[in-house]
Amino acid sequence: MSQKKVDKYKADKANRSALIKKEKRIVRLEILAAALIMTGLLGWFGSRYYRHLENAKPPTEYQIDTGAVDSYLEGLTATVEEQ
């Protein structure tokens, strides 16, 4: 081996632990970024799908004639005032 290669090998060996820590840190950050992106996309798709389902439901409104209830309540207030 040439002296240049030997010196490079020694320098790499001396800094190996720092390089490994740096590589691990970069991998962890990449995984974290991917997880955050996937969580955001999943939440966005979920909310869009929920809105789609809510808009697809038929309306649950009913028409009610309250005339009978109103006349009954008027009769109750009339009997209370008479007493």
How far, in Å, are 11, 28, 43, 67, 75 from residue 71 at the CA level? 97, 72, 52, 6, 6
More confident residue, 2 or 83: 2
Predicted confidence at residue 70, as pLDDT, reads 85
Torsion of CA 37, 40, 44, 45, to 10 degrees: 60
pLDDT band at residue 44 under the 50/70/90 scheme: very high
pLDDT for 42 equals 97
What is this structure's pTM? 0.54
pLDDT at 45: 97
- Residue 74: its pLDDT value, please? 84
Number of residues that make up the chain = 83
Q: What is the pLDDT of residue 80?
A: 61
